[in-house]
Amino acid sequence: MEQQRAVEPYDVVDLITTKRFGRALDPEEIAWLINAFTRGVVAPEQMSALLMAVVIQGMGRDEIRAMTEAMIASGERMDFTALGRPAIDKHSTGGVGDKITLPLVPLLASLGVAVPQLSGRGLGHTGGTLDKLESIPGWRASLSTEEMIAMLTDIGGVICAAGSGLAPADRKMYALRDVTGTVAAVPLIASSIMSKKIAEGAGGLVLDVKFGSGAFLPGLSDARELATTMVHLGADSGLETVALLTDMDAPLGRAVGNANEVRESIDVLAGGGPDDVVELTLALAGEMLALAGMPDVDPAPALRDGRAMDSWRRLVAAQGGDPQATLPEAHEHEVVRAGSDGIVQRVDARAVGVAAWRLGAGRARPGDPVDHAAGVEVLVRPGDRVVAGDALFIAGCDHAGRMARGLEVLRGAVELGSTVPDPRPLVAGRIIADG
């Protein structure tokens, strides 16, 4: 006799219709929806329809909170209270040349703050922290919880892949969003990020929410909405959260790729590096120190006196990497030169990111291999004066067939004019729970 399937309390088609017409879903409906999707009761095509309805109609604060809580409940929660030092996390919404995690984690570790940095891989025009670090021979991204705790206790920092137990419902939903054009929606981005960060169990969280051509949300108003939503989600869950709104209209730093970004990060840890990378590293470090109860600690000296570099070497070695190893270098190089005289008005971050992606530094689909040596060196910044023939970029890759496609987009990435553009602040705003 065929066993009868249990009767579900809701009908997913009713929920899709409710959201399609712009009405709010109840917390109980959302909790069931996420659980049923995780169990396989709600089919992928049904969840895809609901996600598209959310993109079109949006969600209220209570709905976003309920979705976040349901995704957290789908998996395990971590706890760092026994470390003996404050555990503060950081998350960036991603951008072109964003290698801040690499100098930031060892910097904070050298100052007595534990940073359990669970990072991801690149997709499309934005790079992934794990891809960058895998340029280092022997370095491994996958660690057990026991290994993470040991590193946090001994060194104070870890950068690794998130385990499968954290918010598995989000992982399953993101796979759908990536192939259905439903990634860039504030409710979905916010609940995806915050479900993992809250489940991670840190004592505080600093968000780097980017806007501009190289960001997933180009507009400042959209970035502000996302930051505010995530800060409120943190507050609602008891996780003290602060967000900085940072400019991603131009690439961050001079290096865009994988191995070249690691080299630039090491320059920062040695007390040098591009001014904007140093500025943002210190700004985020200051916010994290404040959440750790250390608001009067100045992080800058630790970049100059070798403490942060020592922590970097220990962190890399603890994950199997050789901090002294030679990093991959591209065999093919081409220089993109200015076609006329002028003043640089803009360096289009998205165009540079797409160029690096085409050169092999990124991937089109999850699981694609990346060329760790491929990338772009950005030689000019807005406000620089150039004459015809000056070098603007150096493109590098290990596959000659990729070069033409990368150069095609890179040649249009710089806008020249006759006046000096107004400077843009790197940090455009700060969002906290009380406004």
Which sequence positions are flagged as catalytic?
91, 170, 177, 192, 196
Query: Which residue, among 262, 225, 223, 180, has the nearest Cα to 61 in the 3D structure?
Result: 225
308: three-class secondary structure by DSSP: helix
Spatial strand order in the sheet of 332-337: 255-257, 375-378, 391-397, 332-337
Distance of CA 14 to the CA centre of its chain: 35
Query: Which residue, among 224, 231, 233, has the nearest Cα to 207 in the 3D structure?
Result: 231
Find tokens 């404040």 and name the residue: 290
**DSSP for residue 114:** B
> Rounded to 5 degrees, what are φ and ψ at 88?
-125, 135
CB atoms within 10 A of CB 285: 29
Task: Please give the C-alpha separations between residue 319 and each of 90, 120, 134, 338, 379, in angstroms, as whole numbers.
Answer: 20, 16, 11, 43, 33
Tell me how far apart the alpha carbons of residues 247 and 191 are, in angstroms, rounded to a whole number. Answer: 23
Q: Which residue type occupies 348?
A: D
Query: Which residue, among 130, 234, 248, 125, has the nearest Cα to 190 in the 3D structure?
Result: 234
Tell me how far apart the alpha carbons of residues 288 and 241 are, in angstroms, rounded to a whole number. Answer: 10
Whether 302 contacts 107, CB under 8 Å: yes
CB atoms within 10 A of CB 138: 13
Tell me how far apart the alpha carbons of residues 186 and 223 are, in angstroms, rounded to a whole number. Answer: 9
Tokens of 180: 């259905």
